[in-house]
Amino acid sequence: MVLEDIISAVTVFFFQQTTDSVVYIILQILYIAGMYGIFQKCGLKGWYALLPCLREDRFGEIVGMEKEGRVTAMLQGLSIILHEASLILYGRSGSDDTGFFIIAVVQFLISLSLFIYMIRLCRALCEVFDRKKRWTFLWVTLSGIPAMMWGWLKKYQPLWKVDEMKHDAASFFSGSKAAVLDQGLTVNLEERTATEFFKKKYLLRDIHMYIRPGHMVLLLGGSGAGKTTYINAVNGYEKAKAEVVMNGRNMYKEYKDMQYDIGFVPQLDLMRGSDSVYRTLADAATLRLPSDFTREEREARVNEVMEIFGLTPVRNNLVVKLSGGQRKRLSIAMEFISNPTLFILDEPDSGLDGVMARELFQQLRQIADQGKIIIVITHTPDRVIDLFDDVIVLAKDANRTGRLAFFGPIDEAREFFGKEKMEEIVKSVNRQEEGGEGRADEFIMKYAERGVAQHV
């Protein structure tokens, strides 16, 4: 009987007090109509208010809390799904009381979380409309009334609109492009976008650079700054609105012919532990070398690459028996088998101690000295920084879009940021809530203005 009483109470709370309540329905209509007006006042399209989930997502955008708005939208969606599932289950004769109870409890927890997030969004909305925080209580109890007042009465106006919340650096663009030369790598990336909740989201914008042959380049940036997105755009794996030219050839237009001229070594290798070192490289040679290579030519290339990376003594060892450093060298050797012009490595020193890491980077330096371009992501750059020529620094602007905060020689980077260590540079552009100094917009603007000045 106790379980039945609880189920009955939960049912009344969730369904009779919501779906069957005329007052609730009226308040919901007023809330939607009011949010329609609020969205328009804040510079968004009013029809966003008509769609559940999307409405909550845009609510977060209005108050500058996009992450909280996204979470609220997801909670709202889950609540709707569980609500409908509970109605169906409750309407069936002989339904499982325990199953219904579990769904009802989960919905209660989701509703509680949704309530908390709505309090946070409503408090922030009070700041946007320059109203006292006590309005929050009215918003979370009788939301339709304040929504209609703020949305349609002229006396209630926001202090700013959504597009006015953007920092100058977020909307500033250099307008200059890197020169396209016959040798080297030119990247002119206008934007890389994705669509989330029917909204265009910028992942990267306004990134332009020319990298000379024989240069080893460090790629820096905090979490979410767009390092992986940038790499994927450069190697053609995920195309952006960009022009990527290597040695006079357009990467996007001639991708099939040029894909093996780029070597990419991910952080996690994909090697079979039961294969030998030689067999692993032989398979890579079969896949990556031109089909007109003879068997003897492929074997010669495998032996050459093993010698370059010091793998000849362990040629017959199983991959699973290799040390961490040997395994890293083998994963790099697999990509180097095709003799690429551009070599990109994502944390090749992960899991290696200082000595082994330095040996690995010295080998990469030797490869760069052969006229190759090498771009490396590493979270411990200062122990090998003397081996690099240039550094790329990506940072999130006020709109959380990956932007170019600096590109150039190592010594110039130290002077530009006023920092001696590369790790300090990353800290300076990281957001304050991430333990950084929150100066990303400052350096994005400074670098963009310097680029404009150089091209005047």
Dihedral of CA 438/441/442/443: which sign?
Answer: positive
> Which of 81-95, 104-118, 280-294 is predicted least confidently?
81-95
Distance CA 405, CA 443 (A): 5
Where in the chain do CATH 3.40.50.300 domains reside?
169-454
CB 406 within 8 A of CB 413: yes
Q: Which of 44-48, 321-325, 391-395 has the highest mean pLDDT?
A: 391-395
Contacts 24+ apart (CB under 8 A), 134-141: 140/115
Residue identified by tokens 């009334």 is 145
Q: Which of 71, 69, 61 minimizes the C-alpha distance to 38?
A: 61
pLDDT digit string, tens, across residues 397-453: 887 889 999 999 999 999 999 999 999 999 999 988 778 898 998 999 889 887 644
Give all strands (DSSP E) within 107-215, no chain letters.
185-196, 199-211
DSSP state of 49: G
Higher pLDDT, 18 or 225: 225
Q: Which of 3-7, 151-155, 165-169, 238-242 has the highest mean pLDDT?
A: 151-155
pLDDT digit string, tens, across residues 173-216: 666 788 888 899 999 999 898 876 666 778 899 999 999 999 99
Q: How confident is the model at residue 82 (pLDDT cuts 50, 70, 90)?
A: confident
Give 379: exposed, middle or buried? Use CB within 10 Å, 0-12, 13-18, 19+.
exposed
Average pLDDT over residues 281-304: 88
Share of the chain above pLDDT 70, in %: 88
Tell me the pTM.
0.69
169-454 CATH pick, 3.30.160.270, 1.10.357.10, 3.40.50.300, 3.30.360.10? 3.40.50.300
Q: Which strands, in side-by-side order, build the sheet including 373-377?
A: 249-250, 241-246, 185-196, 199-211, 402-409, 390-396, 216-220, 373-377, 342-346, 262-265
Average pLDDT over residues 389-404: 91
